[in-house]
């Protein structure tokens, strides 16, 4: 999470993309990156899928998560990623539970400026300057925005009372049964 407390966006010199969502998102992103930042931009990929997304430049390195099943191999992966000197890391957060632990582990450990790509193809930089966007994104994922927010909050507030009621009802039923015998 390099540069989290800075709004500075480094030049795109070497990019690591984390394919932790639908493949079509990356297939649309890569050609745009190459068009804006040059055809010779080194773009590497960390994925859980087989094959490669359309538009990935030839010579790109593809890291597959199943090749790193234990702590020792993940440590080796991290050393390899650090040695590659990525200065930009793009992570797909599309509401799909794909590689959740991996993407946040990478965001924390890879020394690069991180951007988040959502399911609509929109992105934002993961830094302190975008805290409102991150908060809205988080609330949206938790179902706490829009018309469903009131329902979700009511359920959340009622949950402890519901558990207490059920426990008291079960205790009363068992005590009544015990008193009859």
Q: Check residue 41 and give its pLDDT.
A: 92
Q: Check residue 67 and give its pLDDT.
A: 94
Quickly state the pLDDT bin for 66 (edges 50, 70, 90).
Answer: very high
Query: How far is 47 from 22, CA to CA, in rounded Å?
Result: 11
Q: Check residue 1 and give its pLDDT.
A: 65
pLDDT of 139-148, one tens digit each? 888 878 888 8
Q: Check residue 53 and give its pLDDT.
A: 85
What are the percentages of helix, strand and coil residues in the chain, rounded to 5? 50, 15, 35
Q: Domain 15-141 belongs to what topology?
A: Rossmann fold (3.40.50)
Per-residue HEC secondary structure of 65-77 comes to HHHCCCHHHHHHH
pTM of the prediction?
0.76
Torsion angle of the four alpha carbons 66, 77, 12, 54, in this order, in degrees rounded to the nearest 10: -20
Average pLDDT over residues 86-98: 90
Domain spans, the chain? 15-141, 147-181
């Amino acid at each position: 999470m390099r540069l989290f407390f800075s709004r500075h966006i480094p030049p795109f010199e070497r990019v690591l993309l984390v394919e932790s969502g639908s493949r079509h998102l990356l297939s649309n992103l890569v050609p745009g990156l190459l068009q804006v930042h040059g055809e010779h931009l080194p773009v590497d990929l960390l994925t859980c899928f087989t094959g490669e997304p359309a538009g990935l430049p030839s010579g790109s390195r593809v890291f597959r998560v199943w090749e790193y099943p234990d702590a020792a191999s993940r440590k080796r992966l991290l050393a390899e990623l650090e040695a590659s000197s990525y200065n930009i890391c793009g992570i797909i957060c599309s509401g799909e539970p794909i590689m959740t632990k991996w993407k946040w582990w990478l965001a924390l450990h890879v020394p690069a400026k991180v951007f988040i790509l959502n399911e609509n193809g929109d992105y934002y930089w993961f830094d302190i300057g975008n805290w409102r966007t991150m908060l809205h994104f988080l609330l949206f994922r938790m179902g706490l925005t829009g018309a469903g927010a009131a329902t979700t909050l009511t359920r959340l507030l009622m949950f402890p009372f519901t558990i207490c009621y059920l426990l008291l009802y079960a205790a009363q039923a068992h005590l009544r049964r015990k008193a009859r015998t």
